[in-house]
Structure 1
Amino acid sequence: MPQTVQGVIARSEGADVEIVDIVVPDPGPGEAIVAVQSCGVCHTDLHYREGGITDDFPFLLGHEAAGRVESVGEGVSEVAPGDFVVLNWRAVCGECRACAKGEPQYCFDTHNAEQKMRIADSGEELTPALGIGAFAEKTLVAAGQCTKVDESADAAAVGLLGCGVMAGYGAAVNTGGVTRGDSVAVIGCGGVGDAAIAGAHLAGATTIIAVDLDPRKLETAKGFGATHTINGGEEDVVERIRELTGGFGADVVIDAVGLPESYEQAFYARDLAGTLVLVGVPTPEKTVTLPMIDIFGRGGALKSSWYGDCLPSRDFPMLVDLYQQGRFDLDAFITERIGLGDVESAFDKMHSGDVLRSVVIL
């Protein structure tokens, strides 16, 4: 029988979010219903509310989530009722050209649930944020979006792997290939940037430079492993990174902002043959212009990081294990634990830079 639960929706562009009753259908083939235990409030949810991703309103917001599988549809073998899972928005297909090449982390045909959840009183179809929609007591997803992890872990902490923390960690380790002895600079010290710093620290980087305009964020970055900080409003970022790396530039520079200005800083702050990783998501109208002779002459690699180039089935359990061992501090990303009715307030705090991550507890 379909279930009626409460969820947080964005009904129209820029409007305050609302808590409404939503109808969750029984899982069909390849689908699962998850009873959500926690969901982080991510900038991506705010982008959905502001119409910055698509205009397929109304949206069921929330995607950085953990919970328990309640039921599964026909043909599901990945998970079973009762499994504690972290949700992901890249359920690999196993058949596309990337999967066929043995690179499923780049899957070009990822899966979402086929059925739609709806607003109970109007019957309107909801568009789930990143195919998840987890600001809700229960949500319907493709079974491949569920990754089973250690059930003794704190849902509020490990749920953050569903987006921001994985994106940042993976930008450093998976995309950037940071390894022991490297020098790393991270431009933008929000949740994604701090996760990149934590990943670089875990991978053995010896010089980790945090760059931001907010002194509060720079101080927080030290707790994740930054060895040096640069206030971009007070210092020349490129020159200061070079000073801190023997005059050469960093081996890996991660742009966690996604603006033309930050990308150009990252480009010139690299050492020769260094790597630039773009993980901050630019808006469609943003463009960058660089002299081709500089692109050629500096060598190295210019990369974009999709979801930290992660493979959830590989990376989530590993990172949860590191968290349980005290080696990867996911708790440090949580600023506050809130209820479903506090999402709009969490967006306001996000704008003002007062939180690293608000986490909805259900």
Structure 2
Amino acid sequence: MPQQVRAVVAPGKGEPVRVETIVVPDPGPGEAVVRIQACGVCHTDLHYREGGINDDFPFLLGHEAAGIVEQVGEGVTEVAPGDFVILNWRAVCGQCRACRRGRPWYCFNTHNARQKMTLAETGQELSPALGIGAFAEKTLVAAGQCTKVDPAASPAVAGLLGCGVMAGIGAAINTGAVGRGDSVAVIGCGGVGDAAIVGSRLAGARRIIAVDVDERKLAKARDVGATHTVNSRETDPVAAIQELTDGFGADVVIEAVGRPETYKQAFYARDLAGTVVLVGVPTPEMQLELPLLDVFGRGGALKSSWYGDCLPSRDFPMLIDLYLQGRLPLDAFVSETIALDEVEQAFDRMRDGDVLRSVVLF
């Protein structure tokens, strides 16, 4: 029967979030109910609260989560009650033109649970962030959004693979195809940028240059694997990256900010025939202007990385295995653990640059 649980809801644009009682229905065909153990506070949740995604309020926030499958609906075979899973927001369909061409990480028809969770007091339907809604004791998702991983991993770190850390690692390894001996520059050293640094290190990059305006973030970037740092408030980052790469520019430049100014820096800081990867998320009003002759003359590739071009069923278990082997420093991304009713304060600390990730523990 339906369950009532506590959850963090964004009631309206710019309004503080609040903890409400919500109703989680029994899973229908292809659905699963997951008991959440941990959920990271991602900047995307703040975008939802501020109306930067859409205006389908009220939102049930939270999406970087790990937990235990509690119930499954009819036809679900990929997970079972008791499985430890990381939630993802791209349950692939297996039928679209991308999936049929063997490129399911580009699936054009990803899906979420069909049923809606509701506010217990009014019955109003909730819009779960990225189809997940995991700032909740339990949530309803499509079974394809659950990826089973080794339960030896801490939920606090495992859940971070569900969004920001996967986006950054994937931007380096999957989208940017960073290889052994490459030079890499990462512009923007928040959670996604630092994850791109970690991914570049995993891939064997020889030189990893971190760029930011905040010395605290640059210090953290060094901790997770940057070989050089550039404070772009004080130094021209394009010139600095070129100087650190024998005058040529980096083989791969990963832009993890999502602004036209920083994208132009990334464009001109790459070597001829190099690659630019945009993983920072721009806002709808932003416009980019580049000389078309420069786009042509510099060659190479200009790519966007959506969710790190990941395939959760392939990438999540592999990255958890690397973590358990001591080769992937996921613990470095957890700045603090908090309670469910501290999410609003965590947004403030995130805006001020005081944390890499706050993680709600249940």
| TM-score above 0.5 | yes
**Distance in 2 separating the partners of 1:302 and 1:280:** 14
Question: What secondary structure does 1:273 align onto?
Answer: strand
Deviations 1:161-219 (A, max 9, x none): 00000000000000000011000000000000000000001110010000000000000
- 1:63 — aligned with what? 63
Give the ranges of 4+ consecutive aligned residues of structure 1 lying more than 2 Å apart after TM superposition.
Answer: none
- 1:31 — aligned with what? 31
**Distance in 2 separating the partners of 1:224 and 1:355:** 15
Match status 1:121 vs 2:121: yes
**Distance in 2 separating the partners of 1:289 and 1:111:** 34
Match status 1:155 vs 2:155: yes
Question: What TM-score does the superposition give when structure 1 sets the normalisation length?
Answer: 1.00
Q: CA deviation at 1:303?
A: 0.1
Question: What secondary structure does 1:267 align onto?
Answer: helix
**Distance in 2 separating the partners of 1:20 and 1:236:** 48
Match status 1:169 vs 2:174: no
Q: How does 1:311-326 map to 2 (within 5 A)?
A: 311-326=311-326
Question: What secondary structure does 1:349 align onto?
Answer: helix
- 1:234 — aligned with what? 234
**Distance in 2 separating the partners of 1:20 and 1:296:** 53
- 2:103 — aligned with what? 103
Question: What secondary structure does 2:253 align onto?
Answer: strand
Q: How does 1:209-288 map to 2 (within 5 A)?
A: 209-288=209-288
Match status 1:7 vs 2:14: no
Question: What secondary structure does 2:160 align onto?
Answer: helix
Q: CA deviation at 1:39?
A: 0.1
**Distance in 2 separating the partners of 1:20 and 1:340:** 11
- 1:82 — aligned with what? 82
Deviations 1:271-316 (A, max 9, x none): 0000000000000000110000000000000000010000000000
Number of aligned pairs? 362
**Distance in 1 separating the partners of 2:293 and 2:111:** 41
Q: CA deviation at 1:83?
A: 0.2
Instruction: Output the amino acid matched with 2:312.
Output: P
5+ long unaligned stretches in structure 1:
none
**Distance in 2 separating the partners of 1:126 and 1:150:** 31
**Distance in 2 separating the partners of 1:159 and 1:325:** 18
- How big is the alpha-carbon RMSD for the aligned residues of Structure 1 and Structure 2? 0.3
- 1:21 — aligned with what? 21
- 2:343 — aligned with what? 343
Q: CA deviation at 1:111?
A: 1.2
Question: What secondary structure does 1:326 align onto?
Answer: coil
**Distance in 1 separating the partners of 2:58 and 2:78:** 30
5+ long unaligned stretches in structure 2:
none
Q: CA deviation at 1:152?
A: 1.1
Question: What secondary structure does 1:20 align onto?
Answer: strand
Question: What secondary structure does 2:274 align onto?
Answer: strand
Instruction: Output the amino acid matched with 1:239.
Output: A
